[in-house]
Amino acid sequence: MDLKCIYTCFPGGKHKVLTMSYDDGRDYDRQLVDIFNRYGIKGTFHINSGLADSNRFPGEGRIHLKEMAEVYAGHEVSCHTVLHPTIARCPIEQVAMQVLEDRRTLEEAVGYPVRGLSYPNGSYSKEIVDLLPKLGIEYSRVVGDTHDFGMPENYLLWKATCHHTHNLLEDGKRFLGLHKTQYLYMMYVWGHSYEFPQQNNWDLMEEFCRMVSGQEDIWYATNIQIVDYMKAAKALQFTIDGDRVFNPSFQSVWIQADGKIVEVPGGTLVEI
């Protein structure tokens, strides 16, 4: 038997992915989205829908619900609970409502299913993690940095590579230097857009995006795009001999077979 060496690839046969994740839906997201758009970077924005149109925190400008579809076009809107409570201290029924009502309101605002979350105040418990799939949540970001580029084992406990104030440029340079195509690498950056004016460092994000943009080996994706793509990749059905593969999902998946990049379109059987 002629055994093949088959690897999962990101779209286009790439082996690296960059994703950005920002919380709270503050007005400064407008400037951050503008930077992302100029450099072709994709971001996920985690929103507290109950604070978007309220005066609960005077002086904290936030993106209004009626603006979200336009402001975040081309990116992802995701949950952050309705009111940003420390949910590990809350009754589990209230946690469920904080997530479901956030989903409902955000979906009405942007017009598509909202399926992700970042834990408010970094707060969660095993009970909450186990509950989330029943609420339609497929991933959630925890607080903290790995300063690493591996794929998560559990997308409901997804830890970022770094906060943008924690060695962003150094980690970015290391990410750009990763060339071993037998691995899948991910750089995940998180933070809050209001931190940029507080620390007067918008130039940091500008420099980072300029540095990592336009790379042929990097896929620029939102959080949910990564989750959906890896789910589709895992669903591929290979023959024992590895000479054919069927893709039962709707989207294309790319693989590498003995060094050759192969696109497997959704719903098709492809010879390798």
Tokens for 51, please give them: 């604070």
Q: Could you tell me the domains of the chain?
A: 15-231 (3.20.20.370), 236-271 (no CATH)
Bridge partners for 122 per DSSP: none
For residue 42, the model assigns a pLDDT of: 98
Residue ranges in the chain whose pLDDT is less than 70: 1, 55-59
pLDDT in tens, 87-105: 999 999 999 999 999 999 9
For residue 114, the model assigns a pLDDT of: 98
Instruction: Give the span between the Cα atoms of 62 and 196, in whole angstroms.
Output: 15
3-state secondary structure the chain: CCCCCEEEEEHHHECEEEEEEEECCECCHHHHHHHHHHHCCCEEEEECHHHHCCCCCCCCCECCHHHHHHHCCCCEEEECCCCCCCHHHCCHHHHHHHHHHHHHHHHHHHCCCCCEEECHHHCCCHHHHHHHHHHCCCEEEEEEECCCCCCCCCHHHEEECEECCCCHHHHHHHHHCCCCCCCCEEEEEEECCCHHHHHCCHHHHHHHHHHHCCCCCEEECCHHHHHHHHHHHHCCEECCCCCEEECCCCCCEEEEECCEEEEECCCCEEEC
pLDDT in tens, 115-143: 999 999 999 999 999 999 999 999 999 99
